[in-house]
Structure 1
Amino acid sequence: MLRETPQPENPMRLKPILTALFASALLALPATAQDCVGQNLFDTMAPERLAELRAATDAIPYHDGLFWQADKGDMRITLIGTYHFADPRHDITMAHFGALIDQAGLLMVEAGPDEEARLADAMKTDPTLIVNPTGPTLPERLTDQEWQALSAALEQRNLPAVVASRLRPWYVAVMLGISPCMMRMVEKRGDAGGLDHLLVERAEAANVPIRALEPWDTLFTLFDGMSAREEEDMIRAAMPAAEHADDYTVTLTDAYFDGESWMIWEFGRFDAYDSSGLSRAEVDRQMQLAQEKLMDQRNAGWIAPLDGAAAEAAGQGKGVVAGFGALHLPGENGVLRLLERDGWTIRPIRVEGIGNGG
């Protein structure tokens, strides 16, 4: 059965992208704007629409800024909101936090080296993790027009239609969130080159222990329990980004480095309102579902490990550095608010030239 199952030509090639999903609330954050030539869509957005988007963002707790410090008694956590693909501006972040990592009792990330190795091995040995060998194919589940548009978009991402037809819908949504130029960058480098990996490399060089915030197989359980319609709508909601992928990439990259993390999330919502063909209510349901599965549930599961690691490090007179996707920081159910409710005092860390929000 497995030998007959269509699968990507080289699952290992996709490992950096899948690893990135551990931390990405948008399914995947894009590559650096230097590699993807496009325009920032905020610059051409109608002023009234941009104002509406900013108002939605401003209502969210901790909606701007990438770097934070949390203190409780003698415990301290330095929180770094990460971006999962290469960009020269990561050098600024590493110059600021490198020495702090060297002195930390522990670095916490979503997927450390052990988790990445287990993920890669699972992808290599069990294609059914991303391919559905039974049941209806995507051409059978979508309209002809939807399938033609989807298969064309996936062809641009080196996934031929015969393979794409049996991919699991969550994985298709991941691929649609990744621009072809970013795929080329990952293939050229051999890894995503993101801030998460730079943090890990620095910790390894300093012999600082690295611990994962969640199990290696979290990725494959995030979308359990979704109905067939929810899965199909997830693809429909992701299609607008695929149609102007390079512009989308530049827009989201710039928003991250401006420290406006939640603008990324709201941009995806408003773009889906305008371009997905779904009603606002349907888009809102999709966004809420994605937020619960990709962020809220995971955030809640991270608080105890963070607390325990900080107590362990404090016993050595040290602090903890925690790096994870920036979109996990904001919101009523974001990591910062959850830590605050757990008795931690939160304050921003200012880094010259990067990530200080609006």
Structure 2
Amino acid sequence: MFGAIWGAVIGAVLLLGTTAQADCAGKNLLNALPIQAQAELRARAAAHPFAIGNFWLAERDAARIYLIGTYHFDDPRHAATLAQLRPLLKTTRVLLVEAGPSEEVSLHQRLADEPALILNTKGPTLPELLTPETWQLLSKAVRARGIPPVMVAKLQPWYVSMLLSMPLCGLNSAAAENGLDRQLMLAAAAEAIPIKALEPYDTVLRIFGDMPQSEQLDMVTMALATEASSADMMTTLADSYFAQEGRLIWEFNRLQSHEVLGYSPQRIDADLAKMEQVMMIDRNRAWIAKIEAAAQQGQVLAAFGALHLSGEAGVLRLLEQQGYHISRQPLP
């Protein structure tokens, strides 16, 4: 969901510590649920349009738009997907991604020039903002990642929540910047296919930067509640992606939040709805005009986080509302 921001900001924070390589040996939490609970989750996911499938074709008149939902982290299973997509690239006019090479350069430069984007350079630090108990939990969690708590104390809370959601193996994977998005960009560059961004390079930075501090601190508390199972969550996320069940992982995240956070169901649902609005729905709507404009120039391949595909305000439904016929395409 976060796209190119991960490689830049995760890479920056890894420089603060002495993290070592680790394997993501987590278990699939979905598979560990009782069969009935799994069925109920799948039923909730299926209630959303285009709940299953990572690869689609949108057609209207002569316009042909291929859409591939991506997983932003490195995984050997990407190889089969990339092999399926390579022949398509030869007939593609432009590759659309969340952030292209020039946007990534701009993001890295911006972070270097303005450390305040991820560092709290003024005002109270996290030990002052959090309860002593919460700060101790946070300190323990970042030490396990090889990062001194004193370095984390001045990080922006939204960034800390992202850091906590990733096990050590995930941090290294994110910093490696070798998810399907990156692999497709390299393949497109080899074919001399133009690569264009769907949004400005600082979109996600602005979303979090505009978030009230109280909400950012809530994100830290919520991330700490599930931090111990972060490796399991990453395994579950990856397995669900390669099973082409993107919407299922969103519903599973809702279930986990209800079970472990201790907040009222109404608050959890409201928080998730707000996150979906700013991180997915608003961005989806902004992308449609760029996707359609690119399609006027020839065949398009649009690659972006798989969570953006499904739902009433997902990219596929929005294109369907513009008169496109949507058909699922085969993947290995």
Taking structure 1 as the reference length, what is the TM-score of the superposition?
A: 0.84
The whole-number CA distance in structure 2 between the counterparts of 1:122 and 1:208 is: 27
Closer, same or farther: CA 289–199 of 1 in aligned 2, 3 Å: same
Q: CA deviation at 1:130?
A: 0.6
Aligned twin of 1:157: 145
Q: CA deviation at 1:177?
A: 1.9
Q: Does 1:131 align with 2:119?
A: yes
Q: Does 1:239 align with 2:224?
A: yes
The whole-number CA distance in structure 2 between the counterparts of 1:162 and 1:147 is: 11
Q: Deviations over 1:124-146 (max 9, x none)?
A: 22110011212222222222222
Match of 1:183 among 167, 171, 174: 171
The whole-number CA distance in structure 2 between the counterparts of 1:133 and 1:280 is: 35
The whole-number CA distance in structure 2 between the counterparts of 1:205 and 1:248 is: 34
Q: CA deviation at 1:179?
A: 1.2
Aligned twin of 2:132: 144
The whole-number CA distance in structure 1 between the counterparts of 2:72 and 2:52 is: 18
Aligned twin of 2:60: 72
Question: What are structure 1's unaligned runs of at least 5 residues?
Answer: 1-13, 21-33, 314-318, 353-358
Aligned twin of 2:288: 303
Q: Deviations over 1:93-121 (max 9, x none)?
A: 11111011122110000111101111111
The whole-number CA distance in structure 2 between the counterparts of 1:135 and 1:285 is: 29
The residue identity in structure 1 corresponding to 2:159 is Y
What SS does the aligned partner of 1:350 have?
A: coil
Q: Does 1:50 align with 2:31?
A: no
Match of 1:321 among 295, 301, 314: 301
Aligned twin of 2:15: none
Percent of aligned pairs with the same amino acid? 41
Q: Deviations over 1:189-220 (max 9, x none)?
A: xx221100111011100001110000011121
Question: What are structure 2's unaligned runs of at least 5 residues?
Answer: 12-21
Q: Does 1:339 align with 2:319?
A: yes
Q: Deviations over 1:274-330 (max 9, x none)?
A: 1122222221122111111110111010000000000022xxxxx000100000001
Closer, same or farther: CA 19–119 of 1 in aligned 2, 3 Å: farther
The whole-number CA distance in structure 2 between the counterparts of 1:280 and 1:221 is: 28
The residue identity in structure 2 corresponding to 1:146 is T
Aligned length: 318
The whole-number CA distance in structure 1 between the counterparts of 2:261 and 2:29 is: 17
What SS does the aligned partner of 1:282 have?
A: helix
The whole-number CA distance in structure 1 between the counterparts of 2:44 and 2:154 is: 37
Using the TM superposition, name which of 239-248 and 289-298 deviates more: 239-248
The residue identity in structure 2 corresponding to 1:277 is G
Taking structure 2 as the reference length, what is the TM-score of the superposition?
A: 0.90
Match of 1:275 among 260, 277, 284: 260
The whole-number CA distance in structure 2 between the counterparts of 1:310 and 1:340 is: 15
Q: Deviations over 1:13-69 (max 9, x none)?
A: x8616499xxxxxxxxxxxxx931121111222344333322321211111110000
The whole-number CA distance in structure 2 between the counterparts of 1:79 and 1:15 is: 22
Using the TM superposition, name which of 218-227 and 71-80 deviates more: 218-227
Aligned twin of 1:166: 154
Give the aligned CA root-mean-square deviation in angstroms: 2.0
